Amino acid sequence: GKNTRRGLLSLFDHAFERALQQRLSVAQELRYSIERGELEVYFQPQHCLQTQSLMGAEALLRWRRAGQLVSPIEFIEAAESTGLIVPLGAWVLETACHEQQRWWRETGQRLTVAVNVSMRQLIDPHFLDQVDQALQKTGITPEDLELEITESMMMEDPAALQQLIAGLRDRGIKVAMDDFGTGYSSLSHLQQLPLDKLKIDRAFISGLEQHKEDRLLVEMMINLGHMLGHIVIAEGVETQEQQQILCELGCDRVQGYFYSPPLAAEAWQAYLLAHAQP
Ligand code: C2E
Ligand code: CA
Ligand code: CA
Ligand code: CA
């Protein structure tokens, strides 16, 4: 009846309000996370498929919130909608570059560090200044820095983005298209973007063993990437079989739990030493 409906509606209102409140408090706490030292950068190794050599690592943000480690899935949206992602992203970038320099100094290993960049950061008028500042402050060689931009972001304003990527490339910085296969890039768009790398989304890798179609799609993406002159890396590789299939399909690099989950600084340092090249 009418009363039940009203009851349900107020219940719904309540839940909605709580969700909203929760989001606001996440944003509020996130605002102080940098100064409180609650943010950490984890690193996940990337290997060459042919030689198995360690080539670099992707920097992944973590937030130690009230002692609990929180993945960016839980707070990136709040960070983006409030614009907090701009200072957070700058912090990640500088921290990642700083670490890359430390690896080099302490182990003699020269690896690439890949950093995720959100749309909000990219369209910020000071983005390139931020990048220059990180380069200057840390002394990283621009060629050792790679920025990951998701395919869906790449379609919003192709002309502006093309210019921005060109600016990064002028500095020697590498650019990877993240989550490749989940957006709808046209071939002409892909051809016009001055990229270095395509990163095949995990969704295609998880079905590699069971689904013929996924195998075909991945093969197509690898061949397309190579035709455009890009390095192709697969993310979310979890099993030996997936790794084997990717090897047969001619994929260049891999990243995923099969090799290692994202690692905190100390564990990463140990991984680095264990995989050091002479
Ligand atoms: P992403 O860029 O696609 O990063 C890969 C995600 O897959 C990471 O989740 C990683 O931990 C996870 N992953 C890696 N290997 C495997 C695997 O073998 N199996 C499975 N199931 N998962 C795997 P994470 O660290 O929770 O990050 C989630 C997303 O948050 C990232 O997706 C990225 O979009 C965003 N993110 C992370 N750090 C940053 C950052 O510093 N800035 C920005 N703007 N976004 C970030
Ligand atoms: Ca990424
Ligand atoms: Ca990805
Ligand atoms: Ca993804």
The confidence score (pLDDT) of residue 190 equals 86
User: Is residue 53 scored above 70 in pLDDT?
Assistant: yes
Confidence grade of residue 23 (pLDDT, cut at 50, 70, 90): low
User: Is residue 1 scored above 60 in pLDDT?
Assistant: no
Confidence grade of residue 183 (pLDDT, cut at 50, 70, 90): confident
Min mean pLDDT across 26-30, 143-147, 171-175 is at 26-30
pLDDT tens figures, 88-129: 999 999 999 999 999 999 999 999 999 999 988 998 999 999
For residue 72, the ligand closest to its alpha carbon is: 1
Q: How far apart are CA 102 and CA 96, in angstroms?
A: 10
- In sequence order, which ranges of 42-157 are alpha helices (DSSP H)? 76-82, 85-107, 119-122, 127-138
For residue 44, the ligand closest to its alpha carbon is: 1
The confidence score (pLDDT) of residue 187 equals 81
- Distance from the alpha carbon of residue 93 to the mean position of ligand 4, in angstroms: 19
Confidence grade of residue 188 (pLDDT, cut at 50, 70, 90): confident
pLDDT tens figures, 226-256: 999 999 999 999 999 999 999 999 999 999 9
- Distance from the alpha carbon of residue 118 to the mean position of ligand 3, in angstroms: 12
Tell me, using a 6 A CB cutoff, whether residue 72 lines ligand 1.
yes
The confidence score (pLDDT) of residue 2 equals 59
Q: Are 182 and 201 in contact (CB under 8 A)?
A: yes
The confidence score (pLDDT) of residue 3 equals 66
Residues, the chain = 278
User: Which ligand 1 atom is the nearest neighbour of the CA of 41?
Assistant: 41
Residue with tokens 């063993």: 209
**Residue among 112, 184, 107 at smallest CA distance from 152:** 184
Please name the residues in contact with 86: beta carbons below 8 A apart, sequence gap of 6 or more: 120, 121, 124
Q: What is the DSSP letter of 51?
A: T
Closest residue to atom 26 of ligand 1, CA basis: 71
> Which of 58, 86, 115, 116 best tests ligand 1's pocket when mutated (most atoms within 8 Å of CB)?
116
Residue with tokens 């100064």: 35
Confidence grade of residue 85 (pLDDT, cut at 50, 70, 90): very high
Q: How far apart are CA 10 and CA 7, in angstroms?
A: 5
Tell me, using a 6 A CB cutoff, whether residue 236 lines ligand 1.
yes
Closest residue to atom 6 of ligand 1, CA basis: 236
Strands (E), the chain: 39-48, 54-65, 68-70, 112-116, 145-150, 174-180, 197-200, 231-234, 253-254
Over 134-150, what HEC string results? Answer: HHHHHCCCHHHEEEEEE
Segment 140-154 mean pLDDT: 91
Tell me, using a 6 A CB cutoff, whether residue 92 lines ligand 1.
yes
Q: How far apart are CA 219 and CA 175, in angstroms?
A: 22
Q: Are 8 and 33 in contact (CB under 8 A)?
A: no
Distances (CA, A) of 61 to 40, 44, 169, 214: 6, 11, 24, 29
Confidence grade of residue 5 (pLDDT, cut at 50, 70, 90): low
**Residue among 53, 117, 59 at smallest CA distance from 90:** 117
Work out the widest C-alpha separation in the chain, in whole angstroms: 76
Tell me, using a 6 A CB cutoff, whether residue 178 lines ligand 1.
yes
**Residue among 252, 257, 258 at smallest CA distance from 112:** 252
User: Is residue 257 scored above 60 in pLDDT?
Assistant: yes
- Distance from the alpha carbon of residue 13 to the mean position of ligand 4, in angstroms: 32
Segment 217-232 mean pLDDT: 97
